Amino acid sequence: AEHFLTLLVVPAIKQDYGSQKDFTQVWNTTMEGLKCCGFNNYTDFEGSPYFMKNHTFPPYCCADNGNGTTVEPCTEEKAKDKTVQGCFSQLLYDIRTNAATVGGVAAGIGGLELAAMIVSMYLYCNLK
């Protein structure tokens, strides 16, 4: 799945980031929320319309961990120095951290659905 997502998402970033407003906004929100850069790292943006127009990477790729913002343009040298991790690894970490909670909620919803089906079958069988 990781390899498939990489083959799917990275070319989409290179093609659409900076040219499609909705796609760019979703990635900006994701990078801001997870404090990450690109799918794997800043190199995912090389060749994108954003990079070709501005000759810089998105500011999230050079953000400090403290405040999450940067004032100067994010060049390749600065992005290398900051080593902000990619969003995919951050997302996997968050999922693994909260897996017990997500599993518990899913099991609870499944139990409620099963109980509702049992009650409805009981009522249907005793219909007169």
Specify if 110 maps to a domain.
no
CA-nearest of 104, 87, 101 to 27 is 87
- Is the backbone of residue 35 left (phi > 0), alpha (psi -120 to 50) or beta? left
Both structure tokens of 16? 């659409």
Read off the pLDDT band of 6 (50, 70, 90): confident
Read off the pLDDT band of 70 (50, 70, 90): low
Specify if 17 maps to a domain.
yes
Cα angle, residue 16 at apex, residues 13 and 19 outer, rounded to 5°: 140
Is residue 48 within 8 Å of residue 17, measured between CB atoms? yes
For residue 73, list its beta bridge partners. Answer: none
The CATH number covering residue 90 comes to 1.10.1450
Lowest mean pLDDT among 4-8, 63-67, 71-75: 63-67
Amino acid residing at 5: L
Count how many domains the chain has.
1
pLDDT of residue 109: 98
For residue 76, is pLDDT > 90? Answer: no
For residue 108, is pLDDT > 90? Answer: yes
Specify if 124 maps to a domain.
no
Specify if 54 maps to a domain.
yes
Read off the pLDDT band of 101 (50, 70, 90): very high
Specify if 94 maps to a domain.
yes
pTM: 0.68
Residue 12 burial (10 A CB sphere; 0-12, 13-18, 19+): middle
Give the percent of the chain with pLDDT over 70.
95
Specify if 113 maps to a domain.
no
Q: Which distant-in-sequence residues (6+ apart) come within 8 Å of 41 by Cβ?
A: 61, 84, 85, 86
pLDDT of residue 117: 97
What residues make up the domain containing 17? 1-103
Specify if 82 maps to a domain.
yes
Specify if 31 maps to a domain.
yes
